[in-house]
Amino acid sequence: MIKILTACGAGINSSHQIKTAIEEEMRNRGYDVAVDAVVIKDITEEMLKEYDIFAPIAKPDFGFEINIPIVEAGPILYRIPSMSEPVFDEMEQIIKSINK
Amino acid sequence: MDVIIDFANKIFKPLIDLGAPPMMFIILAFLAMLMRVKPSKAIEGGLKLAIALTGMGAIIGILTGSFAPALQDFVKSTGIQLSITDVGWAPLATITWGSPFTLYFLLLLVILNIVMLIFKKTNTLDVDIFNVWHLAIVGLIVLYYSNNNLLLATLLVLLIGVMKFINADLMKPTFNDMLKMPSTNPTTTTHMNFMLNPLIMVFDKIIDKFFPFIDKYDFDATTLNKKIGFWGSKFAIGVYLGAFVGLLGQQSVKEIFTLAFTGGMCLELFSVIGTWFIGAVEPLSKGITDFMSKRLKGRTFNIGIDWPFVAARAEMWAVANILAPIMLIIALVLPGNKILPLGGIIAIGLTPALLIVTRGRVLRMVIIGTFMLPVFLWSGTIIAPFVTKTAKSVGAFPKGISDSVLITHSTLEGPVEKFLAVTVGRLGSEFNIQNLFLVIVFLAIYILLFAWYVKQMKKRNEEYKNAVQNKSSEKQVV
């Protein structure tokens, strides 16, 4: 099981769109993933350690190093398949390299 | 217009009599199927809205049930008249989506967007269907105050709608700059948040002119955020404010703990239920977006999404954290305010606009934000009777709670637009010279301020363009 973290302003709208889209697409591609969606403000260094991939809308500056692979998931929100495709491809590559 | 409403009433009367959750379940599922969403997905969406409305009602019941009596005691023991419970944005979004008029305003804005794109009056395709509620609530307020004058509500929604699309175009270069997006990135937003930009810019220009030295004292936002850690998260804030109300309301120790934990729990649960309700609007959003992008094939445009892509900037969170205690103090002393901040105390309805106008200068954001907070508190106070009544009418308010209990959102986006909606609504219910004069003056100031802001933003965007050109010519010299 690959654990992915996504985030947005309230942990309600954008992040849940990303969560739903990633879970659906990665399961279709045959990967076992679980995505959590939280308020970006509430992310701590300890919290990130629990995850394999971080998928924010755009890369944030937390004031600490992010030590897991980052996939910028913003294009998923455009709701246009040809634009979200590269995000899913990048994610698939990383999942393969993690090899869990 | 009246004929249409009469006709609609006859058809929809049996539907309306079912109450809001069943009615919206049927309408939303039907509309999604009309947009060629698969029936199973459409029904899933409709059901999620119905359970979200029911769930919000349950949590509002728990929150007001324990806070309203404590707030009454708080008023008695402190003499401070803060009796309105601040539930934050998620219940208000759900309540607004519980009204069928929201679907009407949605349709109106989709058509407006397509027309503006065709006539090249905007370059933004808005796919953020969910946030239509921010403009829909403005329309609902006009309807509430005008005894359902749909024409006035439609005109005001269209006017602000046009301005929001123009604003989305204007802000694009700033988004590119602040978030290091390449110019090929289409991200922008039409969010109501940023309709406060003109007013914020007035204050920003005053600082430019008279106090430019304050920028020297700016500090790093990420360090502050790191220090705050979990202490600033939703449930923690619910816990403090519950304890705060309990202490000042002179409750027993046991009761203070109960209030603290109830506050924390309700704020968390509002978010959880909020996510059901995003799932509810999702099939409809997808249907509408597919419909729009099919009709606009071959055209490149910017894409309007929800605001949190700017949430990657640490400044907006640092400022939200700093403004929270400031807001609590202002709420206690501000004449005319009746809200005790709770669910809306992290002012995400304000800090994104501060970020974009000041381009991330933290000290300016805090100072200007402090001046903006009263506007939000007053606006939240005046719309409380409307919010409470609408919550009741859509079935998101528990029965058996005293009529004097009011709910609202303390930092609801678009505070100025709420005043405008109330003013326009009053003209609809009582057409006289005084009300007409008020509307004309208010609208004139609102539009002129926006026009001035457009000019300033065009200047800013020109500078961005020149900076890019200079960079590329430097490269050629080398």
Instruction: Provide the number of structural domains found in chain B.
Output: 1
pTM: 0.90
- Mean pLDDT of all residues in B263-287: 88
Q: Do A9 and B226 touch (CB under 8 A)?
A: no
Q: CA–CA separation, A58 vs B194, rounded Å?
A: 19
pLDDT of B15 > 80? The answer is: no
**β strands within B370-423, DSSP E:** 407-408
Which residues fall within 8 angstroms of residue B451, CB to CB, at 6 or more apart?
none
Domain assignment of residue B477, yes or no: no
Q: Do B230 and A42 touch (CB under 8 A)?
A: yes
B211-249: pLDDT as tens digits? 999 998 888 888 888 888 778 888 898 999 999 999 988
Give the percent of chain B with pLDDT over 90: 63
Are the C-beta atoms of B327 and B82 separated by less than 8 Å?
Answer: no
Are the C-beta atoms of B385 and B403 separated by less than 8 Å?
Answer: no
What's chain B's average pLDDT?
Answer: 90
The whole-angstrom distance between B209's CA and the closest CA on chain A is 31
Q: CA–CA separation, B417 vs B421, rounded Å?
A: 6
Domain assignment of residue B151, yes or no: yes
> Does domain A2-98 match CATH 3.30.360.10?
no
Q: CA–CA separation, B348 vs B191, rounded Å?
A: 12
- Mean pLDDT of all residues in B62-82: 87
Q: What residue segments make up the domains of chain A, in order of their start?
A: 2-98
Q: CA–CA separation, B63 vs B273, rounded Å?
A: 14
pLDDT of B134 > 80? The answer is: yes
- The two three-digit tokens of residue B88, written as one number: 């934050």
Q: Which residues of B touch A35 (CB under 8 A)?
A: none
Q: By C-alpha distance, which of B66, B50, B466, B113 is closest to B289?
A: B113
Q: State chain B's maximal CA–CA distance in angstroms.
A: 77
Q: Cβ atoms within 10 A of the Cβ of B442, count?
A: 16
B427-471: pLDDT as tens digits? 999 999 999 999 999 999 999 999 999 999 999 999 999 988 887
The whole-angstrom distance between B204's CA and the closest CA on chain A is 24
Domain assignment of residue B375, yes or no: yes
Query: Which among B37, B224, B282 is the top mutation candidate for probing chain A, defined by the most A β-carbons within 10 Å of its own β-carbon?
Result: B282
Q: CA–CA separation, B325 vs B320, rounded Å?
A: 9
Structural domain range at position B455: 2-470
- Mean pLDDT of all residues in B7-24: 75
Domain assignment of residue B51, yes or no: yes
- Which is higher by pLDDT, B335 or B297? B335
Rg of the Cα atoms in chain B: 23
pLDDT given for residue B12 in this prediction = 67
pLDDT of B196 > 80? The answer is: yes
> What SS3 state is found at B115?
helix
Domain assignment of residue B476, yes or no: no
- Mean pLDDT of all residues in B13-25: 78
Range with top average pLDDT, A79-83, B201-205, B276-280: B201-205
Identity of the residue in A8, A63, A78 whose CB atom sits nearest the CB atom of B226: A63
- Please tell me which residue of chain A has the smallest CA distance to B176: A58
Judged by a CB distance cut-off of 8 A, whether residue B234 touches chain A is yes
Q: CA–CA separation, B89 vs B32, rounded Å?
A: 25
